[in-house]
Amino acid sequence: MSDAAFVAVDWGTTSFRLWLMSNSGEILGERRSAEGMTTAMRTGFANVLTSHLTALSAPDGLPVIICGMAGARQGWVEAGYVDVPADLSDVLKGAVRVSGEASDVRILPGLAQRAIDMPDVMRGEETQLLGALSADYSSGQQLVCMPGTHSKWVSVSDLKVTGFSTFMTGEIFDVISKHSILSHAMTDAANFTGDLPAFQAAVADSYKHPQMATNRFFTVRSGQLLNGLSATDAKAKLSGTMIGLEIAGAHSTAPRDAKVVLIASGALGELYKAAFAALSIEFITIDADEAVRRGLVAAANAIWH
Amino acid sequence: MSDAAFVAVDWGTTSFRLWLMSNSGEILGERRSAEGMTTAMRTGFANVLTSHLTALSAPDGLPVIICGMAGARQGWVEAGYVDVPADLSDVLKGAVRVSGEASDVRILPGLAQRAIDMPDVMRGEETQLLGALSADYSSGQQLVCMPGTHSKWVSVSDLKVTGFSTFMTGEIFDVISKHSILSHAMTDAANFTGDLPAFQAAVADSYKHPQMATNRFFTVRSGQLLNGLSATDAKAKLSGTMIGLEIAGAHSTAPRDAKVVLIASGALGELYKAAFAALSIEFITIDADEAVRRGLVAAANAIWH
């Protein structure tokens, strides 16, 4: 590990990812855990960080760059927000140093949109965005989708963030699935992919009739009672309805000719790809894991070189 | 209680209401409890009914007319559905007798809409509708709103139900309030009324931009972080967003000139009145408690006279 130059950390609400990096951008080690902010608030942020560096036998005193909820008010040290409209490079300038640590630990700020009628915030996605767009830069208007518990849709024009909107798609899907009457209809649902016709039909229907969202939720139940809708189709229908609603909303906030960029990984990324295909929306995909690491590396280079 | 002629029961999922009625339509006694279907499934439907009749010292052997979830598959006896389009009087003909009871106990069927793309069901609201519209009949197209856990919007033309839509407004509001990140923003919220500007603004915004629903949910959180949104305004905003979304959806299913009829009681009825006013939608109101009782009386008269 003598090549180790710095440590990059993506510290979310419920997830922790760490990479040990060389100066040349090589990944020397990687750690993933569920010790997000929620856990670290109890066990201590410094303790969590140290335990993972020890596990990798990392040398002492490496500088550490962090993005995400570790910079929230209830996080390690509050890193504030950069207000939009903003150049993505402004995020790099706003890193806050954690005092009292032997090594140089810095947390990147989030982005805030202070418009009184559509206030919004993000933490972590700005770094993903920075990593994604600097590598895959194209001029003109882009509409960037970062799906998740709280999906972010960002309007970007020539590397300037002009505005963004958060949609609570993942969390609302989760609470409805677990805590509403629809939970019964989805018991025993198998995993499904975006190929499932019930998913694609729900995306298209919800995109076209977003005002019917809470009605479509109920048809998951009534479809089971009257039409024998299967548990898997029921779950796919709820998921498609939520995602179609989100895309309808996000699309309405941007010019029609904005290029859609999907920053995602894994199964959720596949669902969004299928949703875009069902709506005949053209898009390009950038891997989310890679994007956030690349953004952290860019920040480290800007700060320490 | 020598005048007692029959018993009318509105038996919902979580509520039970019983009236002891004379032949002339006089209310001789009334009982309300939380022994809805969910409770009665465990304690026995006959036991619940008997305990309330005993509490009123009702004579033995009175006929009993019941509407609501007692007629569901998991209820006392399954009473099936009348398929729409249907005349409301068809509901009266479909009452199912409970076998093995000393007295004549009958449960009214619900309504089902079997369209494959918008399946829907109701139980109890058809009786409310019958009571409301027979008393306050007006010809032409009506759009009837019955707000609640699962709000029902019914298109009625000359006492014929042509279609209906359920919106999960109340339940979704409830699960989001209790189980999502927004619960923190609403801790310590005071009760509010439809007069609150935050409620009215959210209704109007959501009605106009239904596709932004899950984004507007998030602004409850970000509005608190960035703009100091109060807990009461946060709760009112979530409520107004849910109700505005519902009205946008329901309105899109009916001709624009359909007369809106609100069947509601209490605080929820006042919120919907304020929402309609905020949207400049004209409407008339019918008391929900009175409507369901009147519908049950009409059913008793049709069956036993």
Q: What is the pLDDT of residues B85-103, one digit of tens each?
A: 999 989 999 999 999 999 9
CATH of the domain at B90: 3.30.420.300
Surface of A (150-169) touching B: CB under 8 A: 150, 165-169
Name the closest residue on chain B to residue A171, using Cα atoms. Answer: B180
Same domain, B142 and B280: yes
Q: Are residues A139 and A250 in the same domain?
A: yes
Using the beta-carbon criterion (under 8 Å), do B179 and A181 form an inter-chain contact?
Answer: no
Chain B 38-57, residues with CB within 8 Å of chain A CB atoms: none
- Mean pLDDT across chain B, nearest whole number? 94
Torsion of CA A27, A29, A33, A38, to 10 degrees: -70
For residues A254 and A155, the answer to whether their CB atoms sit within 8 Å is: yes
Whether B171 and chain A come into contact, CB under 8 Å, resolves to yes
pLDDT given at position A262: 97
Nearest to B119 among A169, A178, A227 (CB): A227
Q: Examine the domain organization and report whether B253 and B162 are in the same domain.
A: yes
- Pairwise CA distance, residues B19 & B207, whole Å: 39
Same-domain pairing of B3 and B150: no
Q: Is residue A154 domain-shared with residue A294, that is, in the same domain?
A: yes
- Do residues B249 and A214 lie in contact, with contact meaning Cβ atoms separated by under 8 Å? yes
Model pLDDT, residue B238: 98
With bands split at pLDDT 50, 70 and 90, how would you rate the model's confidence at A290?
Answer: very high
Q: Are B185 and B231 in contact (CB under 8 A)?
A: yes
What does the pLDDT average to over B203-229? 97
* Residue A190, Cβ density class (10 Å: 0-12 exposed, 13-18 middle, ≥19 buried): exposed
Query: Residue B174's pLDDT band (boundaries 50, 70, 90)?
Result: very high
Cβ within 8 Å of A, B 54-113:
112-113
Q: Are B177 and B186 in contact (CB under 8 A)?
A: yes
CA distance B215 to B193: 24
Residue A175 has a pLDDT of: 97
Same domain for B248 and B220?
yes
Q: Quick one: pLDDT at residue A119?
A: 97
Question: B165 with B202, same domain?
Answer: yes
B181 near A CB under 8 A:
yes
Decide if A217 touches B, using CB distance below 8 A. Answer: yes
Q: Which residues of B touch A172 (CB under 8 A)?
A: 176, 180, 214, 217
- Nearest residue of chain A to residue B243 (CA atoms): A214
B133 — pLDDT class (breaks 50, 70, 90): confident
Rounded to whole angstroms, the maximal C-alpha distance in chain B is 66
Question: What is residue A133's predicted lDDT score, i.e. its pLDDT?
Answer: 85
Q: Which one, of A279, A13, A291, lies nearest residue A171 by Cα?
A: A13
Residue A177, pLDDT above cutoff 90: yes
As a whole number, mean pLDDT of residues B216-242 equals: 97
- pLDDT for the residue numbered A135: 60
Q: Take residue A244 and report the two structure tokens written for it.
A: 């179609």
Inter-chain residue contact A213 with B245, CB threshold 8 Å: yes
Whether residue A117 is predicted with pLDDT greater than 90 in this model: the reply is: no
B297 and B166 housed in the same domain: yes
Grade residue A192 by pLDDT with cuts at 50, 70 and 90. very high
CA atoms of B26 and B5, how far apart (whole Å) = 10
Could you tell me if B87 and B21 lie in one domain? yes
| Statement: residue A47 has pLDDT above 90 | yes
- Residue B24: pLDDT band (50, 70, 90) is confident
Q: Is B100 left (phi over 0), alpha (psi -120 to 50) or beta?
A: left
Contacts of A212 in chain B (CB under 8 A): 165, 249, 252-253
Phi, psi of A4 (to 5 degrees): -55, 130
B209 lies in the same domain as B245: yes
Q: Which residue has the tokens 């309405």?
A: A252
Which among A91, A115, A139 is the end of a domain?
Answer: A115
Cβ-defined contact of A218 to B116 (cutoff 8 Å)? no
Q: What is the mean pLDDT of residues A162-190?
A: 96
Which of A151, A179, A208, A214 to probe the B interface (max B CBs under 10 A)?
A: A214
* A222–chain B Cβ distance below 8 A for any pair: yes
Final residue of a domain: which of B123, B157, B189? B123
Q: Do B214 and A245 touch (CB under 8 A)?
A: yes
Q: φ, ψ for residue B62 (rounded to 5)?
A: -65, 140
Average pLDDT of chain A to the nearest whole number? 94
Indicate whether A69 and A137 sit together in one domain: no
Mutation to test the A interface, candidates B41, B168, B173, B238, most A Cβ within 10 Å:
B168
Judged by CB atoms closer than 8 Å, whether chains meet at B119 and A223 is answered as yes
Which chain B residues are closer than 8 Å to A225 by Cβ? 119, 121
Q: Residue B73 pLDDT more than 70? A: yes
Instruction: Write the CATH number for B246.
Output: 3.30.420.310
pLDDT for residue A169 is more than 60: yes
pLDDT(B1) > 80: no
Q: Is the pLDDT of residue A138 over 70?
A: no
Q: Are A279 and A204 in contact (CB under 8 A)?
A: yes
* pLDDT bucket at A136, cuts 50 / 70 / 90: low
Q: Where are the beta strands (DSSP E) in chain B?
A: 4-11, 16-22, 27-33, 64-68, 81-83, 86-87, 96-97, 105-107, 110-113, 120-122, 141-146, 151-157, 160-167, 259-264, 283-287
Q: How high is the pLDDT of residue B159?
A: 84
Task: State whether residue A115 is helix, strand or coil.
Answer: coil
* Type of residue found at B213: A
Least CA distance to B242: which residue of chain A? A214
Both A74 and A157 in one domain: the answer is no
Q: How many domains does chain A have?
A: 2
B154 lies in which domain range?
Answer: 125-305
Any CB–CB contact under 8 A between B239 and chain A?
A: no
* In chain A, residues 106-145 whose CB comes closer than 8 Å to chain B: 112, 114, 116-121
Last residue of some domain: A115, A133, A150? Answer: A115
pLDDT score for A142 = 93
